[in-house]
Amino acid sequence: MQGREALPSQDDGERREGETRHVPVMLRRCLDLLGPALDKPGAVVVDCTLGLGGHSEALLKAHPEVRLIGLDRDTEALRLAGERLAPFGDRATLVHAVYDELPDVIARLGIDGVQGVLFDLGVSSMQLDEADRGFAYAQDAPLDMRMDQTTGASAAEVLNTYAPGELVRILRTYGEEKQAKRIVSAVVRERAKEPFRNSARLVELIRDALPQAAKRTGGNPAKRTFQALRIEVNGELAVLERAVPAAVRSLAVGGRIAVLSYHSLEDRLVKQVLAAGAANTAPPGLPVVPERYQPRLKLLTRGAELPTEDEVAENRRAAPARLRGAQRIREDVA
């Protein structure tokens, strides 16, 4: 990650219900990045992480002719965003889908190439704020963590059924947790006595398992484990690996993509895809570079852009955000 190499607090995300709760992250900059591609007849923009619709609402207001496709795997988010975006009528089409399904969604809607794509990754504020979703380590709740509660295994099922080695891998890879073995040993010992169901027991276990030195820095000692479980439960990185290249392929020439990431694992994937698209792929030594080797993308941000101090003061959940953008400048050539 460019800038601060940090794991998020449970404050990553943006979407908050109502104007008093919902402060979209880096909204002005997202509008500036996407805007030049959207002021044309028939322009379509896809909000791949609709949440409560704050970014989508702003895009629809800023570009009165644009059509918006909003994707979210969370059925409750779709319901609430639908209420928010109802005044825009058929300009907004909301779809229950994971964001790597973008190509299939636009194909079903008869759309051949879009002018804008926005990702606001991570867990949403609505999911953090609703205690019964189990994302937040600051309050006791069932260990669910599924963004789409209609499918898949919960965090409790992961904790109670995964082999110890697999749990260690998840905590190390997705949470960058140096004390993974200590935590997993405690989990395995405790789940043999009684299965895990609620978050408070897990938080207490983590506090007890960590050495004092590890508890003195980095905020709540449970945050890395909760992040790792959330990523595993929702397959976030695997989905993202598919989604960003698919979004780039879905852009029409001149179209733009903006991606907000909240931890180094996400940002690294986004950086790799956009950098690869902006690179010359010709073998060295060619006197003339054939078109098929020319870059498909032009980077619109220098590294990852950070929120301003004012943005963080207005919305503390913006603090770990990293924004990258690119423009499609060339079709794929076989």
* Sequence-separated (6 or more) residues with CB below 8 Å from residue 153: 146, 161, 233
Measured in degrees and rounded to the nearest 5, phi and psi for residue 295 equal -60, 145
Q: Which of 65, 107, 70 is nearest to 249 (CA)?
A: 107
Query: For residues 198 and 296, what is the distance between their CA atoms, to the nearest angstrom?
Result: 47
Query: For residues 191 and 158, what is the distance between their CA atoms, to the nearest angstrom?
Result: 11
Query: For residues 319 and 316, what is the distance between their CA atoms, to the nearest angstrom?
Result: 6
Q: Residues 286, 311: contact at Cβ < 8 Å?
A: no
| Cα-based distances in Å from 271 to 53, 69, 207, 242, 256 | 25, 24, 34, 14, 15
SS3 label, residue 60? helix
Query: For residues 30 and 59, what is the distance between their CA atoms, to the nearest angstrom?
Result: 9
- Cα Rg of the chain (Å, integer): 21
Query: For residues 219 and 136, what is the distance between their CA atoms, to the nearest angstrom?
Result: 14
Report whether 99 belongs to an annotated binding site.
yes
Report whether 53 belongs to an annotated binding site.
yes
Compute CA 85 distance to the chain's CA centroid, rounded to the nearest angstrom.
Answer: 21
Report whether 162 belongs to an annotated binding site.
no
Residue whose token pair is 């405690």: 186
Q: Residues 79, 99: contact at Cβ < 8 Å?
A: no
Report whether 55 belongs to an annotated binding site.
yes
Q: Which residues are annotated as a binding site for S-adenosyl-L-methionine?
A: 53-55, 72, 99, 120, 127
Q: Which residues are annotated as a binding site?
A: 53-55, 72, 99, 120, 127
